[in-house]
Chain A
Amino acid sequence: MIVFDRATVVYPDQTVAVDQLSLTVPAGQVTVFVGPSGCGKTTSLRMINKMIVPTSGRVLIDGVDVAKQDAASLRRGIGYVIQQAGLFPLRSVVDNVATVPLLLGVGRRRARADSMALLERVGLDPSLARRYPNQLSGGQQQRVGVARALAADPPILLMDEPFSAVDPIVRQQLQDDLLRLQADLGKTIVFVTHDIDEALRIGDQVAVMRTGGHLAQLASPADLLSDPADEFVAEFVGRDRGYRALGFVSGEVVTRPETTITLGSSGEAARRVAHGADWLLVLDADRRPVGWVRPDRLGAKVNASDLNRSGTLAHDGAPLRALLDAALSSPSGRGVVVDAAGALLGTVNAGDVVAVIERERSA
């Protein structure tokens, strides 16, 4: 557990970077510091590993004041991932990962073996291990950065805008992988970002900070969307709050059975089962939905080129946002729900989902 106790940072030119920050970072959870540039989020992060010492107030890790600890040994016990990864260009990927274990005196052979295992764990091909960082893509470098931070198995992981320099698709993969990793590892993670969507996605709790180093609100993502503390937070969290809040609500939605046809069947068979319906759901051989077709426009066979693929899929038990989106994006208005293997369970329409939303709200 990390505790900020009225931690304040004033620069020599009297600029206040962080003003009386008091908050608790619970062990084993992800706490995100988010805010516009100049809000002191990175400064706050760096107080945890003593890269910045508070002008007044304290930062405590498990009850011990950080300021009283030796900086180098403190830092070796705290993983750190920075923007641009900050890998050492002169060391191979595997030796980059082994950096802290080697500093701690672990033998080279063991440190390398452990690092190879970690590389796989963060989703990197072991064949990249002998390469140098400048031979990797930005996303790969960032994964190496995460592996390097985890190498000494520190209980705390600090991440300073780790994914902001990669493109949106890679960023989302990295976020997913981090969440999966965290589900296994249960580290105490402090994550800094200026991207509120990333904060809401990654965080168990989110600390919204405003310029001048003030904590504007500390809340769970759902509470931040449904109950912003003031105008600044509401503004910063952004539009579509009601819809986005559904991303954090689950509810029991009963699916309806759906008439289907298998890809490659004859057009005649499709028209027969459709019974005049406008849209017919098409499955592959493993009963996984692949798209919708209009039976009256089919030729001799149900071909892949006939498919309308606009509908998103919702997994069983997904947040209401995913279910509602599945219904709204489907050409038939019926959202497709699948099981963990991706096989069809049934469909829901928007009215079904809204009814559940209403029920959850009055509950």
Chain B
Amino acid sequence: MTDLRLLLLSPADNVFVLREAVGEGETLVIDDRAVTLPHRLDRGHKIARRAIAPGEKILKYGAPIGSATAPIAVGEHVHIHNIKSDYTATHVIERKQEEPAQ
């Protein structure tokens, strides 16, 4: 079984989307396997559905949304630290200490 907090948008996808925020140290179940989150993740973030090799396409909505830049394990957070756009680079700003992530 797979955790109800994980949303699979297309059967072809190699990522799930979090329906709700999941706290640090909490456990998610993916295909009967328990994965513990090393840090809190907000609603809408992506979790690997299976192991993904560097260079492999990330599939969401059944469509490629970028490529892996590092090996990604099942249950790992899939985001800008381990995937990149195949079109234009993603721009982020470093968050200031006094403004916590929501």
Asked if chains A and B come from one complex, the reply is no
Interface residues of B (CB under 8 A from A): none
